[in-house]
């Protein structure tokens, strides 16, 4: 039958030529490569062209006409000029960025964005406004800020600065700003005794406010020592008591019988003895503080100069709080006189009373004089009270300030 039954299965098939199969495979590879090259070329051209595949780049003249036409019909599209520039519809005139923004189409169709700063109202450097600075650099604390002083025949007197900065703010002792229990302790009568003044500055913590008597000696030197140690300071002004002249506060005291001009001259004379203080504290003065006609010119002057007034609380008839509020004078009352009885035990009991007032009201002000017993007891008690969560602050932090309403 023409068939070899003994040959292996399939070995009798005719061998097909491999030439046609190789040709088809090569043709398929070529078509795949051509398609891939086309896709890559189109992707690259689309990415580099500003208008992609939508249309070819327009000549500058046509782009200018279209931009101008769009500007007539849409306020957000902007206007084009003769050079082909058009403002960005997204940020017209830099409304969001603070600068003038323009987009320019070049001859090859590319878009160029131009940012131009806005013109300023005046030449010179730009200034950033900040609020009033509270406190003074410790390295400069012993030196006065010349912008807060004015020259007068009675000395250099404190004034508010041209930017509104007050001496009370400049020379205040910084504090944490927390709203916990706060106490201010004020020690008065410094400058009258060299030994007592030196002891107070050396032994008391810097949180204690020191009040210098205007009639004291070497006040500027003591002030510098106190400021270098971190103390806030006040100036004590002698004022007429009810039992004057039996109780005489001194030849330059403010008195009810003097004219307003004379009292202001005495006040300024005392002010010129020292610098770097946050305010005024009375020395005696029960009668003077209870007379509105005599006290009003003084309070008016303190308000203009940016100084606080601390009333030592010895006179129940004092009008200092009422008049201070009328003339925007930062004002405070002492809550406790801690050394009305001059013994360690009595002073410590008064300090405990001061703490109770502070815990009840949130704040309290205590005043004392520069006696040896007072300095020792206050220093001891403050170390203990600090461990009970009390923050000791300068007196300026606790006065009622009209600017902090």
* pLDDT value of position 390: 96
DSSP string covering 31-66: HHHHHHHHHHHHHHHHHHSTTTTS-PPPPHHHHHHH
Helix (H) or strand (E) holding 392, with range, is strand 391-392
* Pair 364, 335: CB distance under 8 Å: yes
pLDDT score recorded for residue 25: 57
Q: Output DSSP code: residue 137.
A: -
Report the pLDDT value the prediction gives residue 77, as an integer from 0 to 100.
42
Tokens representing residue 292 in the block: 């509105």
| Nearest partner of 251 among 232, 270, 271, judged by Cα | 270
Please give the helix or strand (H or E) that residue 381 lies within, else none. Answer: helix 372-386
Residue among 367, 281, 275 at smallest CA distance from 318: 281
User: 392, 379 in Cβ contact below 8 A?
Assistant: no
Rounded Cα distance, 231 and 197, in Å: 13
8 Å CB contact between 280 and 310: yes
93: CB partners within 8 A, 6+ apart: 87, 100, 101
Chain CA centroid to CA 174, Å: 12
Question: What whole-number distance in Å separates Cα of residue 162 and Cα of residue 159?
Answer: 9
Superfamily of domain 138-404: Glycoside hydrolase/deacetylase (3.20.20.370)
Question: Taking Cα atoms as reference points, which of 333, 331, 328, 329 lies closest to residue 316?
Answer: 333
What pLDDT shows up at residue 138?
79
Domain ranges of the chain: 28-52, 60-117, 138-404
User: Which candidate, 341, 213, 194, 370, places its Cα nearest to that of 283?
Assistant: 213
Q: How far apart are CA 279 and CA 308, in angstroms?
A: 4
The pLDDT score that the predictor gives to residue 345 is 97
| Blockwise average pLDDT, block size 10, the chain, 405 residues | 46 48 55 59 52 46 45 42 42 46 63 61 50 69 95 96 96 93 98 96 97 96 97 98 95 97 98 97 98 98 98 96 96 97 97 98 98 97 95 98 85
Query: Can you count the helices (H) and strands (E) in the chain?
Result: 11, 14
Q: How many CB atoms lie within 10 A of CB 345?
A: 9
pLDDT of amino acid 70: 43
Among left, alpha and beta (phi > 0; psi -120 to 50; other), residue 402 is alpha
Residue 287's pLDDT is: 98
Vertex 187: Cα angle to 249 and 134 (nearest 5): 115
């Amino acid at each position: 039958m023409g068939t070899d039954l003994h040959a292996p299965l399939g070995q009798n098939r005719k061998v097909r030529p491999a030439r046609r199969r190789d040709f088809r495979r090569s043709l398929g590879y070529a078509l795949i490569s051509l398609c891939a090259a086309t896709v890559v070329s189109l992707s690259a051209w689309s990415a580099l062209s500003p208008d992609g595949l939508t249309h070819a780049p327009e000549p500058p003249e046509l782009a200018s006409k279209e931009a101008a036409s769009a500007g007539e019909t849409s306020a957000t599209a902007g206007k084009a000029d003769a050079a082909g520039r058009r403002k960005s519809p997204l940020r017209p005139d830099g409304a969001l960025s603070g600068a003038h923004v323009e987009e320019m189409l070049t001859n090859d169709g590319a878009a160029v964005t131009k940012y131009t700063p806005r013109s300023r109202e005046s030449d010179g450097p730009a200034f950033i406004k900040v609020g009033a600075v509270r406190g003074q650099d410790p390295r400069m604390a012993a030196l006065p800020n010349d912008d807060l002083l004015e020259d007068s025949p009675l000395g250099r007197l404190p004034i508010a600065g041209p930017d509104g900065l007050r001496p009370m703010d400049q020379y205040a002792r910084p504090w944490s700003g927390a709203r916990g229990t706060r106490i201010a302790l004020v020690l008065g009568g410094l400058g009258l005794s060299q030994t007592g003044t030196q002891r107070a500055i050396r032994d008391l913590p810097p949180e204690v406010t020191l009040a210098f008597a205007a009639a004291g000696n070497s006040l500027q030197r003591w002030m510098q020592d106190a400021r270098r140690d971190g103390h806030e300071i006040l100036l004590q002004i002698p004022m007429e008591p009810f039992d004057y002249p039996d109780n005489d506060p001194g030849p330059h005291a403010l008195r009810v019988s003097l004219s307003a001009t004379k009292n202001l001259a005495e006040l300024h004379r005392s002010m010129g003895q020292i610098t770097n203080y946050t305010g005024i504290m009375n020395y005696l003065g029960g009668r003077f503080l209870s007379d509105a006609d005599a006290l009003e010119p003084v309070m008016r002057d303190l308000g203009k100069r940016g100084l606080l007034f601390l009333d030592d609380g010895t006179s129940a008839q004092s009008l200092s709080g009422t008049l201070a509020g009328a003339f925007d004078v930062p004002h405070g009352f002492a809550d406790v006189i801690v050394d009305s009885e001059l013994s360690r035990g009595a002073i410590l009991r008064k300090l405990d009373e001061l703490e109770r007032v502070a815990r009840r009201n949130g704040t309290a002000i205590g005043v004392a004089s520069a006696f040896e017993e007072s300095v020792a007891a206050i220093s001891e008690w403050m170390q203990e009270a600090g461990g009970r969560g009390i923050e000791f602050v300068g007196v300026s932090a606790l006065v009622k300030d009209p600017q902090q309403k």
